[in-house]
Amino acid sequence: MCKPAVTTARRQAMQALLAVLMAMICGAGMADARTAGEPRTLLILPFDMVDSSLQGEMNHGPLAADVARLERTQAIVQRALSAREEFRLVDAAPINEDIAQARQSYRYLYECNGCEIDLGRAAGAELVLTGWVQKVSNLIININATLYDVQRGKAVAGGSVDMRGNTDRTWRAAALYLVNHSLVSNYHARAIDGDAATP
């Protein structure tokens, strides 16, 4: 006579437990969705100039005009990335001494044997961007960038754009294309595959 009452009580308890578990799972899913939609903090390191042109060799380094274009190009990349909803830029000023030390130890920041990850961690950033312009001649120049995930300690996206002609206009166009098409597209494509997923 008591068995039906016990069975009903157990069934009700199991249903209540299942409802709690489902609520927890749904709540966690909603939290993950909110996290995925939030911008990730991004540190942009100073860009490098890799000049292997005859002009550069004769000048014993990049021309002043190219160095100025490099600085303007980095500013263009910074503005373009800050305008996107995926990223929130981190100020590099607090770690300027660390960046200077890294540049003393390594010729280029884009190949500094993991120092970019340490710099990103010091700045409290989730992502770090390294960039460099390679000049072979006045007609063969390319701009490159690599995006690193600090927590995972690995590259999660990259991009490269060739430019034909050494003018302010070509550098600006290449920088904007790098951000809006090459780099960001690669970042989203790899996020779908799981390589650039948020932590």
- The CATH number that applies at residue 71 is 3.40.50.10610
Q: Are residues 136 and 103 in the same domain?
A: yes
**Which range of residues forms the domain containing residue 67?**
39-193
Q: Are residues 33 and 109 in the same domain?
A: no
Total domains in the chain come to 2
pTM: 0.77
- Whether 107 maps to a domain, the answer reads yes
Tell me 183's DSSP state. Answer: I
**Which among 129, 130, 134, 113 has a CA at the least distance from the CA of 49?**
134
- Whether 91 maps to a domain, the answer reads yes
How many angstroms separate the CA atoms of 150 and 152, rounded? Answer: 6
C-beta of residue 148 within 8 angstroms of C-beta of residue 154: yes
Q: pLDDT value at position 81?
A: 97
Spatial CB neighbours of 4, under 8 Å, sequence gap ≥ 6: none
Q: Are residues 5 and 79 in the same domain?
A: no
- Whether 199 maps to a domain, the answer reads no
- Whether 109 maps to a domain, the answer reads yes
Q: Are residues 105 and 187 in the same domain?
A: yes
Q: Are residues 3 and 45 in the same domain?
A: no
Q: pLDDT value at position 31?
A: 36
Q: pLDDT value at position 198?
A: 40
Q: pLDDT value at position 57?
A: 85
Q: Are residues 86 and 138 in the same domain?
A: yes
C-beta of residue 44 within 8 angstroms of C-beta of residue 89: yes
Per-residue pLDDT of the chain (199 residues; tens, 9 = 90+): 444 544 565 665 555 555 544 444 444 443 333 345 789 999 999 999 999 998 888 888 899 999 999 999 999 999 999 999 999 999 999 999 999 999 999 989 999 999 999 999 999 999 999 999 999 999 999 999 999 999 999 999 999 999 989 999 999 999 999 999 999 989 988 776 555 544 3
* DSSP code string of 86-118: TEEEPP-GGGHHHHHHHHHHSS-GGGSTTHHHH
Q: Are residues 47 and 33 in the same domain?
A: no
Three-state secondary-structure class, residue 197:
coil
Q: Are residues 7 and 73 in the same domain?
A: no
Q: pLDDT value at position 196?
A: 52
- Using CA atoms, how far residue 31 sits from 19, 24, 130, 142, 156, in Å, is 18, 10, 31, 41, 23
Q: pLDDT value at position 7?
A: 57
Q: pLDDT value at position 28?
A: 41
